[in-house]
């Protein structure tokens, strides 16, 4: 008898919770701040027109208006290079910094709105077919928060394979221009 009473009691409690605990829609939340889900910006692939510098310290700058103070200070900038004559194959895109063709390749943001690519070759690294690209991810973007789940350190994030970055940040890849 005690078991039947407990069963009926539990059935009543679950029925009450089922019918009173479910609503189709809750109240609307507050509006988000403007710009809090900013898009990921990325450049087209481009080749340097000229390299400046001297043996072991070559560089070229490119205009990058999306590299604002907010993006540089609070977000992440990823850069990639495709080098004609790379040892692996004709579609190898390397995250920067990288070592390839006997030299170190890297980038830096020396002023907002501009990006500088560097190379420490002993001779000027001019090859009209070499291509560079950067991706700017604002610190407030949902995409950066999503990326941080798998790439949970800045080092892991900047070394993210190019194909993964394209998928993760919905970047239209124009790799066919590299062939």
Interatomic CA distance for residues 160 and 80, integer angstroms: 10
Q: In the chain, pLDDT over 70 holds for what percent of residues?
A: 71
Residue 17 has pLDDT above 60, yes or no: no
Question: CA of 66: how far to CAs of 14, 75, 80, 138, 168, in Å?
Answer: 55, 11, 16, 10, 19
Residue 15 has pLDDT above 60, yes or no: no
Mean pLDDT of the chain: 76
**What tokens were used for 114?**
């501009």
* pTM for the model: 0.70
Residue with tokens 């009173």: 20
Which tens digits make up the pLDDT trace of 86-97?
A: 777 667 888 999
Give alpha helix (H) positions in the chain.
Answer: 2-21, 69-74, 142-150, 154-158, 162-168
Distance of CA 74 to the CA centre of its chain: 13
| pLDDT at residue 3, rounded to an integer | 59
Answer for the pair 97, 104: CB distance below 8 angstroms, yes or no.
Answer: yes
| pLDDT at residue 22, rounded to an integer | 46
Confidence class of residue 117 from pLDDT cuts 50, 70 and 90?
very high
Q: Which is higher by pLDDT, 140 or 66?
A: 66
């Amino acid at each position: 008898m005690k078991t039947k009473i407990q069963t009926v009691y539990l059935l009543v409690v679950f029925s009450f919770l089922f019918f009173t605990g479910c609503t189709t829609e809750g109240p609307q939340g507050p509006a988000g701040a403007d710009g809090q889900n900013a898009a990921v910006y990325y450049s087209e692939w481009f080749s340097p027109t000229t390299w400046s510098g001297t043996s072991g310290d070559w560089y070229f700058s490119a205009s990058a208006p999306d590299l604002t103070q907010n993006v540089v200070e609070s977000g992440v900038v990823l850069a990639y290079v495709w080098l004609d004559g790379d040892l692996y194959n004709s579609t190898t895109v390397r995250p920067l910094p990288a070592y390839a063709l006997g030299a170190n390749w890297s980038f830096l943001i020396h002023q907002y709105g501009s990006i500088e690519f560097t190379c420490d070759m002993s001779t000027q690294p001019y090859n009209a077919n070499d291509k560079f690209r950067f991706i700017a991810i604002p610190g407030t973007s949902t995409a950066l928060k999503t990326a941080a789940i798998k790439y949970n350190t800045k080092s892991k994030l900047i070394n993210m394979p190019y194909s993964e970055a394209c998928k993760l940040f919905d970047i239209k890849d124009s790799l066919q221009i590299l062939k």
